[in-house]
């Protein structure tokens, strides 16, 4: 598939069929992430793939996390409830970690701060590589940041203490959404020349 065709064809998929994905397909998608550029070539990402029977455990964790947030007084969990339903439905969810967590309030030492921001950019690029490769393989995908609503529960369950930045759910799409609107280039580009 031509790159621009994949860019134009990609959609966030929120309905998945209940068919598992071959491990080679997931590996091929992760390999696209592996090849992404990163600041100083640090390749700060780490992936945990949840699939098969671990999906049910994950769904329970997400459900509990939402209850915990509500019990803790979080009035709005935003789109998390719907996102967690999608994650439970997808054949596989890739949790994307950054190698360290220096976003806590004391981490104001410039080098740590810069490293965090650079790592986050690198990981964003790696995730986009995943989505485009998935599109090329006719696999539906969803980039997810609602994982922050289940942050402590997911990190404990996945036994990771690095920074959980995002997740990507993958599976065979059970919907074919229209392209979502985008602002025009005129509205987002200023030329200084
Ligand atoms: C950083 C990031 C986080 C996102 N988090 C979520 C999420 O938690 N749940 C969800 O349903 N969609 C999520 N999305 C998908 C966006 O809603 C989607 O990309 C946007 O509405 C445009 O639609 P499209 O991807 O089909 O072009 C996320 C996208 C990005 C880039």
Mutation pick for ligand 1 pocket among 145, 146, 171 (CB with most ligand atoms within 8 Å): 145
Task: Tell me which residue has its CA closest to atom 6 in ligand 1.
Answer: 144
Coil/strand/helix, residue 114? helix
Read off the tokens for 153.
Answer: 């529960």
Provide the pLDDT for residue 102. 56
**Tens-level pLDDT at each residue, the chain (193 residues):** 999 999 999 999 999 999 999 999 999 999 999 999 999 999 999 999 999 999 999 999 999 999 999 999 987 888 999 999 999 999 999 999 997 655 555 556 777 778 888 899 999 999 999 999 999 999 999 999 999 999 999 999 999 988 999 999 999 999 999 999 999 999 999 999 9
CATH of 3-188, picked from 3.40.50.720, 3.30.300.280, 3.40.109.10, 3.40.720.10, is 3.40.109.10
**193 CA → ligand 1 middle, Å:** 34
- Answering whether pTM is above 0.85, one says yes
Whether the CB of 139 sits within 6 Å of ligand 1? no
Query: How is residue 193 annotated by DSSP?
Result: -
Whether the CB of 142 sits within 6 Å of ligand 1? yes
Calpha distance 118→95 (Å, rounded): 19
Task: Tell me which residue has its CA closest to atom 31 in ligand 1.
Answer: 143
Whether the CB of 130 sits within 6 Å of ligand 1? no
Provide the pLDDT for residue 104. 53
Long-range pairs for 151-158: beta carbons < 8 A, 24 or more residues apart: 151/65, 152/65, 153/61, 153/62, 153/64, 153/65, 153/68, 154/61, 154/62, 154/65, 154/95, 157/57, 157/58, 157/61, 158/48, 158/50, 158/95
């Amino acid at each position: 598939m031509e790159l621009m065709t994949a860019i134009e064809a990609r959609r966030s998929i929120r309905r998945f069929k209940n068919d598992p994905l071959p491990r080679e397909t997931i590996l091929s998608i992760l390999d696209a992430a592996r090849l992404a550029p990163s600041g100083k070539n640090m390749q700060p990402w780490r992936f945990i793939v949840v699939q098969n029977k671990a999906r049910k455990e994950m769904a329970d964790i997400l459900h509990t996390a939402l209850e915990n947030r509500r019990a803790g007084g979080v009035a709005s969990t935003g789109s998390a409830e719907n996102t967690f339903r999608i994650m439970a439905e997808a054949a596989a969810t890739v949790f994307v970690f950054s190698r360290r967590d220096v976003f806590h309030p004391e981490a104001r030492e410039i080098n740590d701060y810069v490293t965090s921001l650079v790592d986050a950019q690198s990981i964003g690029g790696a995730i986009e590589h995943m989505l485009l490769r998935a599109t090329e393989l006719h696999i539906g995908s969803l980039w997810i940041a609602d994982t922050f609503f289940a942050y402590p529960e997911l990190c404990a369950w996945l036994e990771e203490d690095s920074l959980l930045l995002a997740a990507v759910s993958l599976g065979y799409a059970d919907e074919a959404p229209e392209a979502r609107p985008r602002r025009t280039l005129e509205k987002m580009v200023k030329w200084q020349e």
